[in-house]
Amino acid sequence: MSIYKACDIRGVYGSDLDEEIAERLGGAVGERIAGRDVVLGSDLRPSSSPLKWAFARGLVSHGAQVVDIGVVPTPVVYDAKDRLGTYAAVMVTASHNPPEYNGFKLMFGDRPVTPEDIDALAKAAEETGPTSRGSYRTAPALEPYAESLLAPWDKLTPREVVVDAGNGAMWWLGPMALQRVGLRVEPLYCLPDGAFPHRHPNPAVATHLNDLQAVCARLGAWGAAYDGDGDRVIFVDENGRVLAADRIFALLVEHRLADDAGGRVVYDLKSSSVVPEAIERAGGVALAERSGHAFIKARMLDEQAALGGEISGHYFFGALGRDDALYATLMLAEILDKRGLSLAAAMEGVPSYPITPDLRLPCAPERADAILSDLEATFADLPRSHLDGVKIQFADGWALARRSVTEPVITLRFEAKSQESLEAIRSRVMTASPGLQRIASEAGS
């Protein structure tokens, strides 16, 4: 499988990705930014250090002015780019993937990278361009980020919160920041270890958070679980229940739009209907966008939106111009403080509808295209959107079918206002295409 994804570069270290590839990619980025400056950071994975040095060699040998800010969470890289006024930013990380993976998150100018940017870098990395000597220096980043982030927040009621860093990049910054605003922090897996020995670095899978759930239930405390590079967060309530990111986002929307009636909010098209309903109820403008960090962030910038959210646990803030998991945690703590509620009680006011996870079925691209055409024809009389595949809006729910651009898979997702309606919608869609019926049968779905 290619290391070149829609929004970043990622693969298994030692087979898909090594120092030679990293140096060539650094050279391609150096040529792309044409002698300008670039912030460079990395996460804690054992392979991040050798990959970062190789990438830095490529950057410097192709004229880039490198500012190395060390081992940091991804939001700190974006903050340093803004604070130092550099043209580009690179984070060496595989985000929420297992420890054997690694890769690169990139940003040029004020925009996130596009699939076209990634394609161009892939081609440039295969060529040997002219070299010109750049420069390398280091700069502090963690403390300046913390000071800037915490400046707007008042002291909060000293209630207890469990911080599960998963041994990842938020190991120090998360507990420290929440303690500074007055919370009592119970650390869980907050010693740095890029092998992630205690849990998978993806907190968006509820079964990865069993230990956090147990601690929260035992202490009667709410919890925040961060991914490997610290830019995504999933929350757990005082009863030990893992909370869906889109329902948390609905809570943030209500809070943020209270001071910005008419504000625009970008949301992941895979989100529950709870999200657009919350946006409209708060007087905002709901803007659906395809899943993916770069797509949500670009739409945020284009629309000058107040907020953005992904079901993976990315939360974007217009005030920052980017996503930030720690900022989201602070905002949630502020909401609970102002309402005088536990997280479990606050979530009682957020609806919950029956919704499936992504249902991934093996499917060749040409078969997937035929299935999408069948669905278009069958449901031509219903409202549909085409941000990513086809999303069909029924009277009491919706269905989404998408073709993967990176692997031979078609993905389905369903939601309705009741379990009975969910099953009815799912049945209608699954029987609408003979091709879909066949691959579902083959997959045993």
In the chain, which stretches have pLDDT less than 50? none
Encoded tokens for 332:
């949630």
Residue among 138, 147, 198 at smallest CA distance from 176: 147
pLDDT of residue 209: 98
Prediction pTM value: 0.96
Catalytic residues: 10, 95, 314
Residue among 196, 232, 369, 221 at smallest CA distance from 311: 232
Domains 9-141 and 152-352 in one fold:
yes
Pick the CATH number of 9-141 from 3.30.70.1530, 3.40.120.10, 1.10.1040.10, 3.40.50.620: 3.40.120.10
**Which CATH superfamily includes the segment(s) 359-443?**
Alpha-D-phosphohexomutase, C-terminal domain (3.30.310.50)
| Pairwise CA distance, residues 340 & 239, whole Å | 17
Buried b / exposed e along 154-193 (16+ C-beta atoms within 10 A): eebeebebbbbbbbbbbbbbbbbbbebbebebbebbbeeb
pLDDT of residue 404: 79
| Pairwise CA distance, residues 143 & 177, whole Å | 10
pLDDT of residue 55: 98
Encoded tokens for 17:
């990705």
pLDDT of residue 299: 96
Residue spans per domain, the chain: 9-141, 152-352, 359-443
pLDDT of residue 333: 97
DSSP string, 167-198: TSTTTTHHHHHHHHTT-EEEEES-S--TT--S
pLDDT of residue 353: 97
| Pairwise CA distance, residues 66 & 30, whole Å | 10
pLDDT of residue 261: 84
